Amino acid sequence: MKLGWLKTTVTLPIIEKRSMVGHAEGSIQRQCQLLRIPRSTWYYRPTGESDYEQQLMRVMDEAYTNNPACGVRRITQGLRRRVYVMNPKRVHRLMRLMGLQTSHPKRGYRPDSGHYRRPNLIKRLPIVQADQAWCVDTTHIRMDRDCGFLVTAMGCFSQYVLSWTLSNTQKAAKSAPVCEDALAIRQPEIFHSDHRAQYSSDAMIALSMDAGVRISMCGHGRCYDDILNERLWRSVKDEEVYLNEYGSLHDAGQRLHACFARYHHCRPRHTLQYRTPAEAYFSSDEVNEPVTEAGPMTESPGGPSPPHSPRQVAMHHLNYVVTLSNEWGTPYSMG
């Protein structure tokens, strides 16, 4: 009797094949041969984990309970510090046996096939002038009992924030009103953003197309494609948000207004040859700087003022912000 068809059609897991042996006529050797499993597999009986590994599993469970963010390497090093002979492969096997999964950031949003996507136009483009490219992004602002969402539109060349808004919900933090306010002042060649829904919405796309601005989007999961905004968030949070506690959204908006004033007029940057973002943005253009946001260097009656050192420029703009705080009564912070 030809049983080749039986050998090719039996594709069950090894555990189910073992359970089938011994319940049919014929020798164990013949049944194992027909199921295509080694005879030693049927005779094998698992011994379970040893006392040593049981002790290791208890220690690993304690470490994971104290800090669920510990992974294989951190647990391995912790066990080695406690004079246990361990390697990452054993820790990984025991964690899988106990069903422990490290708490870590998961893969985020994946756009579907119908999602509006555009290539990254500024990846290898040298940014050499103002209004050549703008970038838009959103970040989280912490408060006492709530949270806020800050949306900014910033020039890539000068790192000058043209427009920003603060809202208490992410749904209300839309980029279209911010870009519309910025387009009322100037008009760039490229709008750069990521693939979030608020940047690929119909209102944002229609606004950019009506203004004749090309749309650029960074690649998914590539933080360096949006590095300028990330550097802005670092400056704002390290120099303002993490040093203060905001009781309300209005309080946060006032303090952020003062923070952006310092960022624009009192903070020379090395990448701008120690010019402030306001000086880099308005120096080569004919458009005058807004009075409420700027502190331009004044010229002497006989012509342009002589060159100033970076320290003199910073002190000049710092005195200007202090004057604004005295006139408006706004709680500007000099920290």
The pLDDT tens digits for 208-256 are 888 888 888 876 656 666 788 888 888 899 889 888 888 888 899 899 9
> Is the same domain home to 25 and 56?
no
Residue 287 lies in a domain: yes
> Is the same domain home to 63 and 170?
no
pLDDT of residue 316: 47
> Is the same domain home to 183 and 141?
yes
Residue 117 lies in a domain: no
> Is the same domain home to 231 and 292?
yes
Query: Residue 304: which CATH number?
Result: 3.30.420.10
> Is the same domain home to 25 and 83?
no
**Tens of pLDDT along 294-326?**
333 333 333 333 333 444 444 444 454 444 444
> Is the same domain home to 308 and 245?
yes
Q: Domain span at residue 22?
A: 4-43
Amino acid, res. 21:
V
Residue 126 lies in a domain: no
Residues facing 31 on adjacent strands: none
Residue 232 lies in a domain: yes
The distance from CA 86 to its chain's CA centroid, rounded to whole angstroms, is 35
Confidence band (pLDDT; 50, 70, 90) for 88? very high
**Smallest Cα–Cα separation from 94: which of 137, 56, 151?**
56
User: The tokens of 188 are what?
Assistant: 């760039």
Residue 334 has pLDDT above 50, yes or no: no
What is the rounded CA–CA span in Å between residue 45 and residue 100? 26
> Is the same domain home to 92 and 166?
no
The average pLDDT across 129-135 equals 88
What is the rounded CA–CA span in Å between residue 138 and residue 178? 11
As for how many domains the chain has, the answer is: 3
Residue 270 lies in a domain: yes
Q: Determine the length of the chain.
A: 335
User: The tokens of 277 are what?
Assistant: 């973002």
Are 166 and 241 in contact by the 8 Å Cβ rule? The answer is no
Residues facing 148 on adjacent strands: 141
